[in-house]
């Protein structure tokens, strides 16, 4: 991939899971909830919790180097304002492109603004789309990222699929029972210019799709592994060049089987890996953006490698991967990978690194 740089970024998400009995009436589940009050938005069409999160995030970005007609917007989401729609019956609240349209309205930009909704891979797909906009000179800068907030409808859906865990999510444990949902968002300002000496670079992206099952990944991980390899090839890197992998790591039986196979087949047990969903919850359309932002913080020296939080009882039926623990020796981290796999067989992987790190 030709040089695409992250010149600024912001993120917000939970740092622990809390028990809640209001989202699913009559039942208690753990959620990664943002404990913050956000400002209302004066335009009713856009007055959604997801957009309040975006406003908080975009206000932290420095856009001063670019004109309004030079900035594009690509936002991944799966829920948008579905919770508000149930109360207001305002059709705009349910539109998946609403968050991107909101940012265009709020910032007054005069270039493309679009939504991406590909389940859990939405955040990396937003990167992929943004890269194409930059490479084809449609924009000089793109605000790319993802946002999702907790909503009853998808929560009930996961409950109906019997993958919503009553306990805190426990990825790669023999005792894992499913996911814990969360909310959050992250935005990245992407350009073809290395505006600052310490900008982080998008080195490679890999995308594949498979038709194994609508809601269950292929346990042999054929296309998941292909997405990882495509990202490595795009970045012109070998597996040994990757210093850390943030795993999709949902804590479901099927995801962890698939992902352990994909990671082990390429990296064996060498590369440190962890899932941060036991901290953030599964943020759905924002998950890949949130987890890429965690990698961004690591590369910036603002965060240590996240310890893989689980009960310590690894599922021995899975190939052994190198989960980060308190005793993991932390070599200098120059290049990180983030994996994401979603319903419908969508697979996406992004590699980011320090400028010149490859």
Q: What is the pLDDT of residues 167-177, one digit of tens each?
A: 999 999 999 99
**Order of all β-strands in the sheet with 29-32:** 18-20, 29-32, 181-182
SS3 call for 187? strand
Calculate what percentage of the chain has a pLDDT beyond 70. 99
Could you confirm whether 248 is annotated as catalytic? yes
In the structure, what pLDDT confidence band is assigned to residue 197 with cuts at 50, 70 and 90?
A: confident
From residue 300, alpha-carbon distances to 131, 294, 326 in Å are: 21, 10, 21
358 pLDDT exceeds 60?
no
198 pLDDT exceeds 90?
no
In the structure, what pLDDT confidence band is assigned to residue 211 with cuts at 50, 70 and 90?
A: confident
In the structure, what pLDDT confidence band is assigned to residue 357 with cuts at 50, 70 and 90?
A: very low
Render pLDDT for 18-76 as a digit per residue (tens, 0 to 9): 999 999 998 999 999 999 999 999 999 999 999 999 999 999 999 999 999 999 999 99
Domain 204-354, what fold? Peroxisomal Thiolase; Chain A, domain 1 (3.40.47)
- Mean pLDDT for the stretch of residues 170-198: 95
140 pLDDT exceeds 70?
yes
Could you confirm whether 120 is annotated as catalytic? yes
Q: Tokens for 204, please give them.
A: 């490679």
For residue 56, the model assigns a pLDDT of: 98
In the structure, what pLDDT confidence band is assigned to residue 356 with cuts at 50, 70 and 90?
A: low
For residue 55, the model assigns a pLDDT of: 98
- Mean pLDDT for the stretch of residues 240-258: 98
Query: Fold identical between 4-191 and 204-354?
Result: yes
For residue 2, the model assigns a pLDDT of: 79
CA distance 123 to 23: 24
CA within 13 Å, CB half, 340: 30
101 pLDDT exceeds 60?
yes
What is the residue extent of each domain of the chain? 4-191, 204-354
- From the list 50, 93, 139, 248, the catalytic residue is 248
- From the list 50, 93, 139, 282, the catalytic residue is 282
CB 263 within 8 A of CB 245: yes
For residue 329, the model assigns a pLDDT of: 86
CB 230 within 8 A of CB 341: no
Calculate what percentage of the chain has a pLDDT beyond 90. 95
In the structure, what pLDDT confidence band is assigned to residue 246 with cuts at 50, 70 and 90?
A: very high
- Mean pLDDT for the stretch of residues 245-264: 98
Please state, rounded to an integer, the average pLDDT across all residues of the chain: 96
Please give the class, per CATH, of domain 4-191.
alpha beta
DSSP 193: S
CB contact set of 70 (below 8 Å; sequence gap of 6+): 111, 139, 140, 141
CA 319 to mean position of chain CA atoms: 24
- From the list 120, 139, 295, 336, the catalytic residue is 120
CB atoms within 10 A of CB 59: 11
- Mean pLDDT for the stretch of residues 215-235: 97
CB 336 within 8 A of CB 246: yes
Residues in the chain: 358
């Amino acid at each position: 991939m030709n040089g695409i740089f992250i010149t600024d970024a912001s993120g917000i998400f939970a740092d622990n899971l809390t028990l809640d009995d209001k989202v699913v009436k009559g039942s208690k589940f753990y959620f990664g909830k943002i404990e913050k009050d956000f400002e209302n938005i004066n335009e009713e069409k856009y007055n959604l919790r997801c957009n309040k999160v975006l406003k908080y995030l975009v206000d932290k970005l420095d856009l001063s180097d670019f004109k309004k007609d030079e900035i594009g917007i690509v936002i991944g989401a799966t829920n948008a304002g579905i919770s508000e729609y149930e109360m207001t019956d305002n059709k705009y609240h349910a539109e998946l492109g609403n968050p991107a349209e909101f940012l265009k309205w709020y910032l007054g930009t005069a270039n493309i603004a679009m939504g991406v909704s590909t389940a859990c891979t939405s955040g990396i797909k937003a990167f992929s789309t943004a890269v194409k906009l930059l490479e084809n000179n449609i924009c000089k800068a793109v605000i790319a990222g993802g946002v999702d907030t907790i909503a009853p409808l998808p929560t009930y859906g996961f409950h109906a699929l019997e993958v919503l865990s009553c306990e805190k999510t426990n990825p790669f444990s023999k005792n894992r029972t499913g996911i814990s949902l969360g909310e959050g968002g992250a935005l990245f300002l992407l350009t073809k210019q290395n505006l600052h000496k310490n900008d982080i670079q998008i080195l490679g992206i890999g995308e594949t799709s498979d038709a194994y099952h609508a809601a269950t990944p292929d346990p042999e991980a054929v296309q998941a592994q292909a997405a990882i390899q495509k990202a490595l090839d795009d970045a012109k890197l070998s597996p040994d060049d990757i210093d850390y992998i943030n795993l999709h790591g949902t804590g479901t039986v099927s995801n962890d089987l698939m992902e352990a196979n994909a990671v082990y087949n390429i990296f064996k047990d060498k590369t440190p890996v962890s899932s941060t969903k036991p901290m953030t919850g599964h943020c759905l359309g924002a998950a890949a953006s949130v987890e890429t932002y965690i990698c961004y913080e690591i590369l910036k020296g603002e965060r240590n490698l996240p310890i893989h939080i689980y009960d310590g009882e690894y599922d021995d039926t899975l190939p052994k991967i190198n989960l980060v623990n308190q005793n993991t020796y932390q070599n200098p981290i120059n290049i990180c990978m983030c994996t994401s796999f979603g319903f419908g067989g969508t697979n996406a992987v992004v590699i980011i690194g320090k400028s010149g790190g490859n």
